[in-house]
Amino acid sequence: MSEYEDPNRDRLKNHFAQRVIHQARQVLEVWQRLQASEWNAGDMSELVEANTRLLRYAERFEQEEHAQLARRIATSLESVEANRGRLNSPLISEIHQLMQRLSRTGLRHGDLAESFLPPLRKPVYLGLQDQERSERLAQQLEFFGLAAQALHSAAEFRAAMSERHPAAIVMEVDFGGRAAGLALAEESQQGLEQKIPVLFFSHDETDAPTRLAAVRAGGQEFFTGAIDASSLLEKIEILTRTAHYEPYRVLVVDDSRAQATHTERVLNSAGIVTRTLTEPIKAMAELAEFQPDLIILDMYMPDCTGTELAKVIRQHERYVSVPIIYLSAEDDLDKQLDAMSEGGDDFLTKPIKPRHLIATVRTRATRARSLKARMVRDSLTGLYNHTHTLQLLEDARARARRDGKPLTFAMLDIDHFKKVNDTYGHPMGDRVIKSLALFLKQRLRKTDHIGRYGGEEFAVVLPDTNAEAAFKVLDDIRQRFAEIRYPAQPQDLSCTFSCGIAELSPDMEIKRLSSQADQALYIAKNGGRNRAAVFQE
């Protein structure tokens, strides 16, 4: 029998693939640490070493997708070294995109020809008294794309901790005995420089001393009564910051090329993408194209002062909330205050220490992103709201027409949702909505846009995807979502959704595309629900 006919060969390849995935996690963990600080030689060498191991393993175990990514990351890192360790915006963007692809490897069903690989994340350790509940919860988390390991004793937990630290710990207060879970969680944190998020659980309501003990043991969340996968995942996502890192984007406007270049280098050293402009009159066109998180303005420029440019920027509703920081040699406090009253958010005086500049930019950009998210996102699910989803669809349509690539739009609706609300109450209905939102975020690509259209209805914009590929992905999500169980009385609840899919055709307006997806959804609902349908003329 040749190796191609060996039935164990694929199983062996999958086994070895786990080692490649583990190494890919190591690369991503080093990369994430770099985002929190300025890059230095030690950080660079650690990332290079981790990526070299990834390439070696990927080639040895025939994981071509990982091997290709590792080669491209290596080339980008060589460019950084050739640039004497300095980062520039194109390099930051390039490495970031490669890391995004690495982090998403295996998450989207169908992207890999043969197998569905687990996500590139550390596992979550579950320490619950009820072994059946623990196994079921681990399985449910797997449905959401999160690796989870149910541990059935304190000894098993300690053994797992000695082998590998998890992304988070879910610990029952009485795991292993009365209040033993508290002590076990506290023990697991001893000697760790970076603490592991702990989420405690108790069947019964607990008193203040127990809650205080949980906080002292590293507890950052506390569940009582019932615990379900979607609520748990939502908290883990927040606590472990597993959302993909997007580099901040800063537009620097300064008539001095030397000063602009200096500012650019300082921010690039912290992994911040910059674009510099020495002609302020071109700022509005650059804003529309670059879409920065923050703007740095010189106060005194010959053709247009910083305060004048700030006024022009603030006249456009789209940029009202973008922070503007003046960076100038002006040290007159009254003039600084006057400038800030003209649309500025902060005033930094030259010369400024690099750390001070980086910290200010990060703080302001973080707050701006948070505010923007509240404006364009649905408060319950964190998905884009109806209005912004349509804006994203319009933007995607323009790109698809420009690049000659396909675009698909899908509408999803939870089946018999009114019955869920009437039977189990609105809190359960909200939990199901949030659960589907999380499920879609976990299973779709980062380039896909997911919105809550209203009530129990969702919308998905899938760029560079035809209707056939969209159907395959969304139908798989539909089947997996139906397997999720929500703890309830008298019996656990499960839900399904129906889906309508439409593909953009030449010269089609988004109103018509949306209408076609809606018609396909109606066909799916009318055909018995819990199914996906593609619009046919």
Residues with a known catalytic role: 456
- Per residue, the 3-state secondary structure of 48-98, as one string, reads HHHHHHHHHHHHHCCCHHHHHHHHHHHHHHHHHHHCCCCCCHHHHHHHHHH
Q: What is the rounded distance in angstroms from the CA atom of residue 149 to the CA atom of residue 157?
A: 10
The answer to whether 69 touches 105, Cβ cutoff 8 Å, is yes
Tally: H helices and E strands in the chain:
19, 15
Among 237, 239, 168, 180, residue whose Cα is nearest residue 214: 180
Pairing status of strand 407-414 against strand 497-503: antiparallel
Coil, strand or helix at 468: helix
Distances (CA, A) of 40 to 271, 297, 403: 11, 28, 39
Look at the alpha carbons of 310, 312, 315, 320 in this order and tell me if their dihedral is positive or negative. negative
The answer to whether 413 touches 518, Cβ cutoff 8 Å, is no
The answer to whether 440 touches 530, Cβ cutoff 8 Å, is no
Coil, strand or helix at 414: strand
The answer to whether 500 touches 533, Cβ cutoff 8 Å, is yes
Q: What is the rounded distance in angstroms from the CA atom of residue 475 to the CA atom of residue 534?
A: 11
> Tokens 């959401």 correspond to what residue?
144
Q: What is the rounded distance in angstroms from the CA atom of residue 268 to the CA atom of residue 251?
A: 12
Q: What angle do CA 38, 40, 42 make, to 5 degrees?
A: 135
Distances (CA, A) of 244 to 72, 116, 196, 461: 19, 20, 19, 19
Q: What is the rounded distance in angstroms from the CA atom of residue 343 to the CA atom of residue 309?
A: 9
